[in-house]
Amino acid sequence: MHRDSATIFIGRIRELGETLSQLLSLALGLTPSTNEFISTNLTTANLNYYPPCPEPEVAIAANPHFDTSTFTILLQDQVGGLQVFHEGAADWVDVPSLHGALVVNIGNMLQLLSNNKMKSAEHKVFANAIVPRQSVACFFMPPIDFSTMSTKMYGPIKELVSEKYPAVYREASLAALWGSLYPDLEGSLRNPVLARLRIAYDKEVV
Ligand SMILES: O=C(O)CCC(=O)C(=O)O
Ligand SMILES: [Fe+2]
């Protein structure tokens, strides 16, 4: 990516992220004074390049995973291959590549903060034999401070917890949440990181 266009792109994505944070807070019914998403910022961008794969039927371009972010803004090229797991259909569905469109994924951080009101989207990318594919994934998170990574805790926003809607998750540090890219060793949990944070873990699994 050319340096000038990258700078402009990132600037615009930051603005869009701020607007999205505010809209998500509104959608959750949070008041501006307790809005914890306002501090959400663009922390990382993945520039993904997937070369053509000689044996796409036995390979995968990106393993199924949940992003750790509050939300992710994704730019994909025209090649396609991104799929999201649709809980209702219990199946993977294609996320078509539309020219000029951005995809927004909810990540594990928002599922945790929103006390399960917003669900993290599991996604994967399948490989193709013919053309390379590129994407830019921009991750929005609370600011990352490596000195407090294991000690600063995040949990369901107080305003979203009540007697009627008790906290679904215990609090977790960013370091603990970061495990979400790694599959469950026993392979039985769809979202192992959040499943292990569930307060009613014994009774119910995410
Ligand atoms: O390449 C894509 O479309 C998805 C990339 C992705 O999921 C990620 O970087 O977390
Ligand atoms: Fe992702």
| Beta-bridge partner residues of 123 | 65, 84
Q: How far is the CA of 15 from the CAs of 34, 40, 74, 154, in angstroms?
A: 21, 12, 14, 24
Pocket test for ligand 1, best of 78, 95, 123 (most atoms within 8 A of CB): 123
CA 189 – CA 38 distance, rounded (Å):
31
Model confidence at 166: pLDDT above 80: yes
3-195 sits in which CATH class? mainly beta
- Percent of the chain beyond pLDDT 90? 71
Please state the domain extents for the chain: 3-195
The ipTM value here is 0.98
Q: Which residues share a beta bridge with 133? A: 50
Pocket test of ligand 1: the residue of 60, 65, 126, 135 to mutate, having most ligand atoms within 8 Å of its CB, is: 135
Find the mean pLDDT for residues 113-123. Answer: 96
- Residue ID of nearest Cα to ligand 1 atom 6: 137
Q: Residue type for 82, please? A: L
Q: Is 46 in the pocket of ligand 1 (CB under 6 A)?
A: yes
The model's confidence at residue 1, banded by pLDDT at 50, 70 and 90, is: low
d(CA 103, CA 68) in angstroms, rounded, equals: 16
Per the CB < 8 A criterion, the answer to whether 71 and 57 are in contact is no
pLDDT interval class at 206 (50, 70, 90): very low
The tokens 């972010």 sit on which residue? 69
Closest CA to 178 of 24, 67, 74: 67
Q: How far apart are the first and last CA of the chain?
A: 38
42: its two tokens: 């663009």
The residue-averaged pLDDT of 136-163 equals 92
Of the listed ligands, the closest to the CA of 83 is: 1
Retrieve residue 34's tokens.
């307790």
pLDDT score of 188: 67
> Average pLDDT of 82-94?
95
Does pLDDT of 29 surpass 60?
yes
Which protein residue's CA is at the shortest distance from atom 1 of ligand 1?
Answer: 135
Check pLDDT > 60 for residue 54.
yes
Instruction: Output the CA 93–ligand 1 centroid distance in Å.
Output: 15
Asked if residue 67 lies in contact with residue 181, where contact means CB atoms within 8 angstroms, the answer is no
CB 144 within 8 A of CB 174: yes
Across the chain, what does the average pLDDT equal?
89
Atom of ligand 1 nearest to the CA of 139: 10
In the predicted structure, residue 57 carries a pLDDT above the cut 90: yes
Check pLDDT > 60 for residue 70: yes
Average pLDDT over residues 164-172: 94
Identify which has the larger pLDDT, 204 or 48.
Answer: 48
Out of 42-51, 135-144, 149-158, 182-191, pick the least confident. Answer: 182-191
pLDDT recorded at residue 185: 56
Please count the other Cβ atoms lying within 10 Å of the Cβ belonging to residue 136: 19
171-205 pLDDT per residue, tens: 999 988 886 455 555 566 788 888 888 997 555 54
